[in-house]
Amino acid sequence: MAKIIGGITTSHVPAIGRAIAKGLQQDPYWKPFFDGFRPIHQWLAEARPDVVVLIYNDHGLNFFLDKMPTFSVGAASEYRNADEGWGIPTLPAFQGDAALSWQLIESLVEQEFDLTTCQEMKVDHAFTLPMALLWPDQKWPVRVIPVCINTVQDPLPSAKRCWKLGEAIGRAVAQWDIDDRVLVLGTGGLSHQLDGERAGFINKECDLRFMDSMVDDPQWATQFTTRELVEHTGTQGVELLMWLATRAALGEKVQALHRNYHIPISNTASGLMLLEPVA
């Protein structure tokens, strides 16, 4: 049977891609951010996942305002990204896992989630940059399954709904009859707002409380409406929905093996956590 071996949550701002391309990992501005991934690399080398279920939000590369599904799952054999206009290089293609993708899709639909199924799908920086942070050589040793959550256009799914999605993903993986080692990777945030009167808004206190809750009170953020989450974390800080779904997939109890928090990264509070399920 397949097994979820851990969850990683991290930020995905496009500036990370430019820093990687320019080799700025040891630059004083970037060093605290990139150094945070050293324990992650060691864990990945030991844990050796076979598949990554990557929960992220698309920023207009694959979906746009005319067609914005609430939840979508990739079912392709390969995923590529493209020039998004941020001035960051495109990355090598990612190998999909169509069989496990369909297992997820069929299980989620059975659990009453209405999905958009994508047999062709481009993946943007919210997908590619976290992968490059986990595997800096960009030689992907894993198969990937994209799971996309709408955080761009109203109506957004609630925190409670995203939690239930993560739980459903966990059940779907557990039902897979192949002995795959599965990593769940959730990307986004933390607090930030890129436009409007609160442009540059960061809420460190809320971010740290949320990171603590991922271990000791994982449904803490589900008490808030979408509007309340925006008030606490900024317009784009609502990307913590991907963190919630990731945490929910891991089961009832987890231990935090590593965490890092650093501000600012391109006017964004950058969070990083490595969580492992506890039987």
> Which active-site residues does the annotation give?
125, 192
Q: Residue 164: phi, psi to the nearest 5?
A: -65, -35
User: Among 98, 173, 200, 188, which Cα is nearest to 143's?
Assistant: 98
CA distance 52 to 180: 10
Strands 94-95 and 78-79 turn out to be antiparallel
- Could you tell me if 127 and 61 are in contact, meaning their C-beta atoms sit under 8 angstroms apart? no
End-to-end CA distance of the chain: 16
What angle is formed at CA 176 by the lines to CA 47 and CA 37, rounded to 5 degrees?
Answer: 25
CA-based nearest residue to 244, from 113, 149, 152: 149
Q: Where are the alpha helices (DSSP H) in 218-264?
A: 226-233, 240-249
d(C-alpha 10, C-alpha 261), whole Å? 10
For residues 206 and 260, is the Cβ–Cβ distance under 8 A? no
Q: Hey, is 210 helix, strand or coil?
A: helix
Give the C-alpha separation, 12 to 255, whole Å.
Answer: 23
Helix (H) / strand (E) element for 44: namely helix 38-47
